[in-house]
Structure 1
Amino acid sequence: IYGFAVSTSEMIDARYKGIISRFANHLCRPNCVVQRWEVAVEICCGLFANCNITEGDEVTFNYGDLGTTPTTPCYCGHINCKGLF
């Protein structure tokens, strides 16, 4: 995804610029979490590791943690896959 819903009324558009983390994919048991910050009235999001990530590991986060209603089928293949994100 290149758009990121920060809240029901706020969206970060990363189609044309942003950092490499905009390419992180979904996994029901991810190795990163997203944190929302406000810095000088600007909304920012950071992707932070929640475990050790070794070279070659895919960087992932749970799209379902965004506070939205899951509607997209999930094919992550994890044993605890929730089926939707």
Structure 2
Amino acid sequence: MIVTIRKTQKEPFTIELIRKRSEHNEGEIGTLEEISLHQEDITKIENLQNWCKDLKILLLQSNLIFKIVFMRLIYEIVLDQIALNLMDVNFQ
């Protein structure tokens, strides 16, 4: 998945950020089904489909995401609560 950036985010989108936000799953990201990444000033998402293979719900409210392009078709992920993001989602 590639996301076009709009401005610099406060914290890079890293595996550590995903672990921090998956406390309810004891930091285990391989089996994570839902993750909330609200208000992280995220501009670019990379490698999420590799780290969280079971991900079904991705909550992205109030970030700086402009455009998401799914390189691989990921039908299972439900993009939920993406309000306050200027987004254009394309499947390729």
- What is the TM-score normalised by the length of structure 1? 0.30
The structure with the larger Rg is 1
- Larger RCO, structure (CA 8 Å, separation 6 or more): 2
Give the structure with the larger strand fraction: 1
